[in-house]
Structure formats: C-alpha cells, structure tokens
C-alpha cells in the first residue's frame, strides 16, 4: 500500500474525517456565533478569519490525535499484542501504518496550521495561535517525562486543559473580528462550558468493571469504579451549569435548553447508575456522554444558526 493509502486507512479508523471535521467546525462556530449572539450581533456572520479559525480547530484536533498516536506507539503495540479488545485492531498494531507515515502527517498538519494563521493579525488571533501551537508541541514532549507518562491523572491534568486553550483560540478569532471590547464576562462561562464536555468524554471512555480490566490504565483501575463514575458526572453537570446562563442572552430559550438538559440528564443518570449499581454493560459511559458532547457543540451551533441566521461577513 502507498503512503497515501496507509494514511487514509489510519485516518478512517483513528480520526474519521466524516465525524471529526464537522465536530471541529461545530466546536468553533458554537463559540464564535454564541459570542456574537450574546452582544446581539445578528444575523450571525462568517468572515474569512473565521474560516481560517474553524479550519485550524479541525487541524489542531488532527495534530493532537497524531501526537497521541506517536507518543503511545509502544504502549499500543504491547496492549494490542496482549489482546486488549480496544487495541488489537488498531492500524499501528496491524502494521497498516508506520511511524514514519505519522511523522510526515504531523509535519504536514503543523505546516498547514502555520499557513492558515500567519495572515490573521497581531496580537489577536495570531498570538493566541502561537500560544496554542507551542502548548500542543510541548505536550507531546513533556508526556515523556516518566512521572507524567506513567500517571493517568497527571497526563489528564497536563493534557486535557489544551482543549480549553483551543476554545480560547476560537474566542481570540472572534476578538480579532469584533474587538476585545465586545467580549462580556459570559465568555468565561462559555469557555468552560465548552471545555468540560471534552473532559467528560475523556474520563468516560476509560472506565471498566474490575473483571474487564487489562494492562491498560483506566480511571477505574486508578481511582476505583465509584470515583471513576463521579468524574464524567461532575464534568457534565459543570458544563450544563456554565451553559445554562448563556441560553437566554444568546436568544435561544427552549430551542436549546431542552436538549442541553435532557442530554446532560441522560449522561448523569448513566454515571449515577454505575456508581450505585456497577453491573456488566453499565461501565460504557462513553455512549451516554457522547450525545451530550454533540448537543453542546453541534446542537449549539445549529440552534444559533436557526435562530439568528448566518450571512457572509
């Protein structure tokens, strides 16, 4: 198979474009349009700078996935050879992609990010881009510090906030278009409300019952099943609490509040059920948290579009 074919295989399995591209675009525009709606800048607009920013959020998602793949190569190979069901069919384990392929993809993605952001303007959003770009690069290198690479909790504490930095980059693109003076204190609630679902997803996908544990490090193995169930529950509740005060100022009302609270309630129920009655089939919290993540990102972007309309800026 050619290098292009190998990379296509890896992308399809590990970063499916049909899912990741729309979700990245939705994440950006949920933030960018919500900030416009809060200050009554309607109909909502899309500028050339916003187009570059949205594409950059998608590419940052890809870059972080490539970084994760490269830094986890040895661990993934070991888990795959041990028969872990989540790893035995991964492209790197099956030999369908090489480390050299992923290194090339890393450089191509990084170069495209620089090209997209170079003309965006100083200090915002170019300074914010530089900060996030350096932060993502540093995260790839500091992971290899033994205390971090061997600790799931330290890895979470040092890596997951990068998602918050990327959301802040989206805010900086808005500020570049509309001025920093147009930002209100609600921007802070929006930032954290958009970040907590990513933390909820990350913690929900690494929970297993004791009899399901393998050599793979999970939150349930480190903290116990009860405490592990509390993590995504906490993040879901905090996200809903942050986003709820934004709904009315953004002019959405029932169009968004119902799906937001409904999906949050479903995810919270799954976590509480596992907490009090851990049984086979109930540890897969990810399938309950993912609908909430979709509502927070895609749902908010679509609701804003339907309510206010979108025109070129």
Mean pLDDT of 81-85: 83
Q: Map tokens 């907590």 to a residue.
A: 196
295 and 201 Cβ atoms separated by less than 8 Å: no
pLDDT score at 25: 98
Exposure pattern of 166-184 as b/e (b: 16+ CB <10 Å)?
Answer: bbbbbbbbbbbbbeeeebe
Percent of the chain past pLDDT 70, that is, above it, reads: 100
Report the distance separating Cα 17 and Cα 103, nearest Å: 19
Mean pLDDT of 237-253: 97
Q: List the one residue out of 242, 214, 226 whose CA is nearest residue 283.
A: 226
Is pLDDT at 144 greater than 70 in this prediction?
A: no
Kindly report the pTM of this predicted structure.
0.95
255 and 307 Cβ atoms separated by less than 8 Å: yes
Is pLDDT at 287 greater than 90 in this prediction?
A: yes
């Amino acid at each position: 198979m050619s290098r292009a074919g190998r990379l296509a295989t890896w992308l399809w399995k590990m970063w499916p474009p049909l899912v990741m591209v729309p979700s990245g675009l939705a994440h950006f525009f949920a933030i960018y349009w919500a900030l416009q709606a809060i200050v009554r800048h309607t109909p909502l607009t899309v500028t050339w700078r916003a187009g570059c920013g949205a594409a950059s959020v998608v590419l940052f998602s890809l870059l972080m996935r490539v970084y994760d793949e490269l830094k986890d190569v040895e661990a993934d190979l070991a888990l795959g050879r041990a028969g872990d069901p989540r790893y035995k069919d991964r492209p790197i384990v099956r030999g369908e992609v090489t480390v050299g392929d992923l290194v090339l993809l890393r450089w191509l993605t990084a170069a495209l990010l620089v090209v997209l952001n170079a003309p965006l303007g100083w200090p915002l959003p170019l300074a914010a881009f530089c900060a996030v770009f350096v932060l993502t690069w540093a995260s790839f290198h500091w992971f290899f510090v033994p205390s971090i690479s061997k600790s799931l909790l330290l890895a979470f504490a040092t890596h997951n906030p990068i998602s918050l930095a990327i959301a802040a980059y989206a805010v900086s693109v808005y500020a570049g278009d509309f001025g920093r003076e147009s930002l209100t204190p609600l921007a802070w609630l929006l930032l954290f409300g958009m970040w907590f679902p990513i933390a909820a997803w990350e913690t929900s996908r690494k929970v297993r019952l004791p009899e399901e544990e393998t050599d793979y490090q999970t939150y349930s193995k480190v903290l116990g099943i009860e405490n592990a169930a509390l993590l995504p529950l906490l993040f879901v509740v905090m996200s809903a609490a942050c986003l709820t005060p934004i709904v009315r100022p953004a002019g959405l009302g029932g169009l968004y509040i119902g799906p937001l609270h409904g999906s949050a309630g479903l995810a919270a129920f799954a976590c509480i059920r596992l907490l009090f009655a851990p049984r086979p089939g109930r540890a897969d919290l990810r399938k309950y948290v993912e609908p909430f993540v979709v509502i927070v990102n895609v749902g908010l972007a679509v609701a804003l579009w339907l309510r206010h309309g979108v025109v070129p800026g």
